[in-house]
Chains A and B, each alone.
Chain A
Amino acid sequence: MNRCGLIIKSFAAILWIFAAGIHLFAATLTVSIDPPTVSVGETAILNLMFEGGVPDGNVKMPEVENLDFQFTGQSSRQIIINNRVSSQYVISYAVTSQKEGEYTIPSIVATVGGQRVASQPIKFVVAKADNRDIERFARLRLSVSRDRVRIGEPFYVEIRLLFLAMNGAEQPQLASDGFTIGKFAQNESHTIEDGRSWRLITLKTFAIALKPGDLTIGPASMKVTIPARLERNFFGETIVASWRTVILTTPSYKIKAEPLPSMDVPPQFNGAIGVYNMSVSVAPTNIAVGDPITVKITISGRGPIESLSLPEQPQWSEFKVYPPTSKVELTDQFGLAGSKTFEQVVVAKSTETRELPPFTFAYFDTDKQQYQVLKGPTVPLIVRPSAGNTIIFASTNTPSAVAQADIVHIKTRHGVIGQISPPLIAQPLFWTLQTLPAVAWLGLLIRRKRLDELANNPKLRRRLQSEKIIKEELKKLHQFAQEQKTEEFFAGIFRILQEKLGERLDLPAASITESVIDEYLKPAGARQELIETLQKLFFECNQARYAGQKNARQLNEFIPLVQKTLDLLSDFEIKKG
């Protein structure tokens, strides 16, 4: 019995150690919320703290009615407690609610290293917001330019945010079921309210009712960060101790949207609404059958200008009508004023045509609250027979057939086919080629500078000339030596010496003789070695006139001496006089 009990105790001890070991390395998830109580629209931070590992994949937040969770960030840290290292991984969410109440955030489940972990449910209280407290720092207003509109009629909507201190704001949200809303344009200024100067951000746009009935626009809401607590600093100044994020809301507006009148609708009416003027010009008026006539129609005024389109013109049945092109010029940032110019090409079908019937455009006038029809002039035409073959148009008996012109037919020739490639400006070769003329110009510019330099420096020019002549003569020396032309060889050496000495002494080459050694070189302090080599060369040149022929080897032996003499002369600076 004792032995059995011992085994059981030992087994239990092993199990406990094993369980403790598991517990030691098990991951945990703890959820906390700070602060646990907030006002409506305020934000609390919900922290999911994982110990012993990092969650696998994303953590799915539970759905809690009226609670909004926004991911704000994640962090990790290492903690040492009693020499035991543990890691913490924290995921944070901003929690807001627009409805007061006591909420329970249910258990959050995640997987850490393949192990399922779950948190305890947590309470979160949202108290009624104290608007007076919020309105001390920021106010939101919504206004509309009309409370009674026609369907399709644009009207302005303005959201005004007034604030004394603010640390960030998000784009406003505007409830606008049944309307289409334009893009907001922002403007900043100051205003006085309740005796205080407020900064004012005005966000203006337009709205168009899409359906009839009593519609509601708004409320507008905007998430802003305003001071939560103020305090005085050491100098007695009021500073913001902490901030809070709240959602400002405005009341909504009732808009009565009425359909356009169904009585007395002009046949040309195609949905244009606003207040418009029209001008029409036609050119040319003296044409041959088949020649195009351009009708230029400019419609200007207030309304959704860009969406205007030309109505069908049943009275133009004598003409082939092509699809118009249009150009818009806006004078209003929302596109609700300006002009739209259409260019409509029409072609007379026969010489019987005497005039272009007036163009008519109908719209619903929002000022007068009735339909208006604008009419262009009747334009007399002279239609001559076509010079070529008679053009036969398809019969268009019904007016609508004219307006329903088809697309231009396909092309029968494919034209010049090219590889689909980026344009030239995106190709490095294009820009590389552009450098060529610039480089050529630069090269010639350098050449021009060099020429100018030579023109202004005769000594340099003389030196370059003599170097060129000497180079040519040296080449000939080798040739004369090979051909054993002794006389020409030494005549060549003489010319080389004349050129070099002439250049160095700034004398004409032809005037150089052996006497320059005594006249110029010795007084100028020339080295003995230079004088001796020159004397030797001049002597050999004189001897060559009378002495016999020398063989190639003997002649070749002189060439290094000539080269050496030239080098010595190059190094020697002649001091004239």
Chain B
Amino acid sequence: MNRLGLKPIFSDRPNLRLFFISSKTLIICLAILLNLLFSSVRLIAAGVDEEFEQANRLYEQGRYTESAQVYEKIIKSGRASAAIYFNWGNALFKSGKIGMAIYAYLNAERLAPRDPDIKANLEFARKAVSGGAVLAKKNWTDIVRKLTLNEWAILFAITFWGLFIMLALCQWNTQYKNKLRFPIKLNLVLLLIFGFCLGLNAYERITNRIAIVIVPEGIAHQGPLDESPKKFPIRDGLEFTIVDKKGEWLQVVDNSNRIGWVKTNDVVLLPRW
């Protein structure tokens, strides 16, 4: 009551009833959302089980080429998981397509960067590439690559939402200002770290385009012409970083800093995203 004997229209106290309703609604909404999410996952996975089992069976029977084709069919249908890419890589490796196997393992690694099996097989395939060596990774990418781009994005989004929700609470009720001072600062620091890592990861994806040789034998030329002098031989599975592109030619650099032009048909490009 104010000095005029009237109930104040605006109050600093939060409307607790509103909070209770919101909490219940929030729980129901979350339950519905989770249900929808799992339903969509089930829907996406529907039909894959059978093909996945078929591909695995073919692999176990030693019919690696056919197995690889079935895995590829699943992936081409727009559905994938780290395990599907991994198994596809195995089938390709066993059928002698090391370049394509490395391509599949790299895709699997993007989805599950902490999976030791993927790392082991990728290293194994790279070792199997005659005359080739593992592309040197920059130091910071080792840390940033521990999580996927989406995981960094989710961490960024969580901290971003958390920060603004706490800031909003402080505006809703000034009593929260003191209580939330430390969490806000902590959240801000985390937001900066996650944002930095997300930015670095995205930057690396955008700037560091990888091409993998998929032909048994080939030649890197000095220029983007068939008539251009030969620079160095290339083999299935060698990995290059793309420097430039001209028509059907790519200028690439290998881990020995050798630069040459290769035909796009001789390599497969790791997608940017």
Q: Give residues in A with beta carbon < 8 Å to B.
A: 180-183, 304, 306-307, 309, 322-330, 334-335, 405, 407-420, 422-426, 430, 433-434, 437-438, 440-441, 444-445, 447-448, 451, 454, 461-462, 464-465, 468, 508-509
A454 and B10 in contact (CB under 8 A), knowing A420-B75, A437-B165, A444-B171? yes
Residues of B contacting A419 with CB < 8 Å?
44, 78-79
Chain B residues whose CB sits within 8 angstroms of the CB of A430 once the complex forms = 153, 157
Most buried by B among A408, A413, A508: A408
Verify B86–A422 contact, CB threshold 8 A: no
Partner of A417, one of B80, B198, B232: B80
15 extra A-B contacts, CB within 8 A, seeds A323-B127, A408-B120, A417-B81:
A180-B258, A304-B256, A309-B127, A325-B123, A328-B134, A408-B121, A410-B91, A417-B41, A418-B80, A420-B79, A424-B157, A425-B202, A445-B171, A451-B10, A465-B6
Could you tell me which B residues sit within 8 Å of A by CB distance? Answer: 4-6, 8-10, 12, 41, 44-45, 48-49, 52, 56, 59, 75, 78-84, 86-87, 90-91, 93-94, 117, 119-121, 123-125, 127, 133-134, 136-137, 139, 142, 148-150, 153-154, 157, 160-161, 163-165, 167-168, 171-172, 174, 198, 202, 232, 253, 255-259, 273
Contact call A425/B120, Cβ cutoff below 8 A: no
Closest 9 CB pairs of A and B: A437-B164, A183-B257, A444-B171, A424-B153, A411-B83, A323-B124, A441-B168, A408-B117, A410-B87
State in angstroms the CA–CA spacing of A416 and B147 once bound together: 17
Residue in B59, B157, B253 with the greatest tally of chain A CB atoms within 10 Å: B157
Separation in Å of the A463 CB from the closest CB of chain B?
Answer: 11
A180-B232, A309-B127, A410-B90 in contact; A444/B78 too (CB < 8 A)?
no
Assembly CA distance A405 to B127 (angstroms) = 12
**Chain B, residue nearest A410 (CB):** B87
Main SS at interface, chain A:
mixed
Give every chain A residue within 8 A of B93 (Cβ-Cβ): 407
Question: Do the beta carbons of B44 and A418 come within 8 Å of each other?
Answer: yes
Give the residues in chain B near A451, CB-CB below 8 Å: 10, 12
Determine the residue in chain B with the shortest Cβ distance to A185: B257
Name the A residues within 8 Å of B82 (CB-CB): 415
- A335→B172 contact, CB < 8 A: no
- For the complex, give the distance between the alpha carbons of A509 and B198 in Å: 61
Main SS class of interface, B: helix
Q: Quick one: given A420-B75, A425-B202, are A407 and B124 in contact (CB under 8 Å)?
A: yes
| A414-B256 in contact given A328-B136, A454-B10, A468-B9 (Cβ < 8 Å) | no
Distance between Cα atoms of A114 and B273 in the complex (Å): 49
> 20 A-B Cβ contacts within 8 A?
A182-B256, A183-B257, A309-B127, A323-B123, A335-B257, A410-B59, A410-B86, A411-B83, A411-B86, A414-B81, A416-B41, A416-B81, A417-B84, A418-B44, A419-B78, A422-B273, A425-B198, A451-B12, A461-B9, A508-B5
Q: How far is the CB of A498 from chain B (nearest CB, A)?
A: 12
Q: How far is the CA of A322 from the CA of B127 in the complex (A)?
A: 12
Residues on the A chain within 8 Å of B119, using CB: 325
Report the minimum CB–CB distance from A215 to chain B (whole Å): 16
Interfacial chain A residues near B153, Cβ < 8 Å: 423-425, 430
> In the complex, what distance in Å separates the CA atom of A288 from the CA atom of B10?
68
Give CA–CA (A415, B111) in the complex, Å: 11
Judging by beta carbons under 8 Å apart, are B120 and A414 in contact? no
**Which residue of the partner chain, among B4, B79, B80, B257, contacts A462 with CB atoms under 8 Å?**
B4
Which residues of B are found within 8 Å of A414, using beta-carbon distances?
A: 45, 48-49, 52, 81, 83-84
In the complex, what distance in Å separates the CA atom of A405 from the CA atom of B125?
Answer: 12
Q: Which chain A positions have C-beta within 8 A of B171?
A: 441, 444-445, 447-448
Question: Which residues of the partner chain B approach A420 to less than 8 Å between Cβ atoms?
Answer: 75, 78-80
Instruction: Please give, as numbers and ranges, the residues of chain A lying within 8 Å of B91 by CB-CB distance.
Output: 410
Given contacts A417-B45, A468-B9, contact A423 B256 (CB under 8 A): no
Given A407-B124, A417-B45, A441-B167, check contact A423 B150 (CB 8 Å): yes
The CA of A553 and the CA of B121, in the complex, are separated in Å by: 92
Q: Is the CB of B134 within 8 A of A425?
A: no
Determine whether the beta carbon of B253 is less than 8 Å from that of A183: yes
A323 & B120 in contact (Cβ 8 Å cutoff): yes
Whether A440 pairs with B258 at a CB distance below 8 angstroms is: no
Within 8 Å CB of A461, what residues of B? Answer: 8-9
The winner among A425, A445, A508 for most chain B CB atoms within 10 A is A425
Shortest CB distance B209–A (Å): 15
Residue among A183, A405, A423 making CB contact with B258, cutoff 8 Å: A183
B208 to chain A, nearest CB (A): 15
* A220–B33 alpha-carbon span in the complex (Å): 68
Q: In the docked arrangement, what's the CA distance between A405 and B79, Å?
A: 31
Please name the residue on chain B nearest to A310 by beta carbon: B127
Is A464 a contact of B9 with CB atoms below 8 Å?
yes
B48 / chain A contacts, CB cutoff of 8 Å: 414, 417
Q: In the complex, how many angstroms separate the beta carbon of A154 from the nearest chain B beta carbon?
A: 9
CA distance A420 to B273 in the complex (A): 10
| Cα–Cα, bound, A445→B198 (Å) | 29
Residue of A nearest to B232 (CB): A180
Task: Point out the residues of chain B lying under 8 angstroms from A468, CB to CB.
Answer: 9
- B168 in complex: contacting residue of A408, A413, A444, CB < 8 Å: A444
Q: Check B137–A327 contact: CB distance below 8 A.
A: yes
Q: Contact between A440 and B79 (Cβ–Cβ < 8 Å)?
A: no
Partner of B160, one of A328, A434, A447, A465: A434
The CA-CA distance from A319 to B121 in the complex, in Å, is 19
Q: A330: which B residues are within 8 A, CB to CB? A: 136
Residues of A within 8 A of B52 (CB): 414
Say how far B243's CB is from chain A's closest CB, in angstroms.
10
- A462 and B10 alpha carbons, distance in the complex (Å): 12
Q: Are B256 and A335 in contact (CB under 8 A)?
A: yes
A176's nearest neighbour on chain B, judged by CB, is B231
Are B83 and A307 in contact, with the CB atoms below 8 A?
no
